[in-house]
Amino acid sequence: MSEIVIDSIKVRYMRYGDHGCDVLLLHGWGQNLEMMAYIAAFLSKDFKVTSLDLPGFGKSEEPYRAFSVEDYSEWLRKFNEALDIKEPIIIAHSFGCRIAFHYAYKYPVRRMCLTGAAGLKESHGPLWYLRTYAYKAAKKVLSIGPFKPLLRKLQDNVGSADYKSAKGIMRETFVKVVNDDVKDLLPRIDVETLLVFGDKDEATPLSQGKMMEKLLPDSALVVFEGADHYAYFYEAERFNRVLAAFLKRDIL
């Protein structure tokens, strides 16, 4: 296990293997490099694999300000330059896929395998919008001095589990992240991409995977029946078999 400081943020990372193409593993929101360890070990015999705790997660330091997805992408560019990672194969989960999309749009990427990929905003019904507007109105009123404690209590009782568990800078980061929509970006990403979705995924539904397959110019979708958002982890052997077939051409 190693540490490096990139753009004033100290992060933990681990490298596996000593030959072949570079592979970069990007975990999901609230996760860490241990979640990707089975993939890393599996690929280490044929690739140079780098896995890391992204800023704000695992044992890495939080960013010095609220990061957007694009900020994470730019930070990742600096990380790759520091470790001499060139044109990597990116394997990512959920939030990590958001970063992968932005990175692949700007910088050379050999290939991508994205599982439970996040990045598309869901459409909502009228009731959702009514609740959202009511919350924003309450937030505006409660932001006035004496009411701020009530605002904090309100914020702690609305939103997703990820939002409620995030604190300080990472809560602000979460808001920026979930408001990032890659719909217009995807058609401009010319990278061969394998999408892996579980048909029981409630965090990033299969419908989003199907939309991504339509929007990405060079992509294919594999569906794991009966699997949820963590298909790559709970069905690791199955996932690695699919991954091995996808990366067969890259083995030197």
CA angle at residue 30 from 123 to 240, to 5 degrees?
90
- Say whether both 99 and 184 belong to one domain: yes
* DSSP letter, residue 134: H
- Say whether both 186 and 113 belong to one domain: yes
E strand segments, the chain: 2-6, 9-16, 22-26, 48-52, 89-93, 111-115, 193-198, 219-224
Q: Look at residues 135, 156, 174 and tell me which one is the last residue of a structural domain.
A: 174
Edge-to-edge strand list for the sheet holding 89-93: 2-6, 9-16, 48-52, 22-26, 89-93, 111-115, 193-198, 219-224
If phi > 0 it is left, if psi is from -120 to 50 it is alpha, else beta; for residue 45 that is alpha
Q: Which domain holds residue 144?
A: 126-174
In this structure, the number of other CB atoms found within 10 A of the CB of residue 188 comes to 11
- Say whether both 26 and 77 belong to one domain: yes
The answer to whether 32 and 58 are in contact (CB under 8 A) is: yes
- How many distinct structural domains can be found in the chain? 2
- Say whether both 62 and 155 belong to one domain: no
> Which residue would you say has higher pLDDT here, 87 or 142?
87
Q: How confident is the model at residue 160, as a pLDDT?
A: 62
SS3 of residue 224 by DSSP: strand
Q: pLDDT (tens digit, 9 = 90+) per residue, 31-73?
A: 999 999 999 999 999 999 999 999 999 999 999 999 999 999 9
- Say whether both 168 and 189 belong to one domain: no
- Say whether both 92 and 17 belong to one domain: yes
- Say whether both 155 and 204 belong to one domain: no
- Say whether both 48 and 114 belong to one domain: yes
Q: pLDDT (tens digit, 9 = 90+) per residue, 214-239?
A: 999 999 999 999 999 999 999 999 99
- Say whether both 111 and 6 belong to one domain: yes
- Say whether both 75 and 162 belong to one domain: no
Pairing of β 48-52 and β 22-26: parallel
Does 147 score more than 90 pLDDT?
A: no
- Say whether both 201 and 246 belong to one domain: yes
Q: pLDDT (tens digit, 9 = 90+) per residue, 2-28?
A: 999 999 999 999 999 999 999 999 999
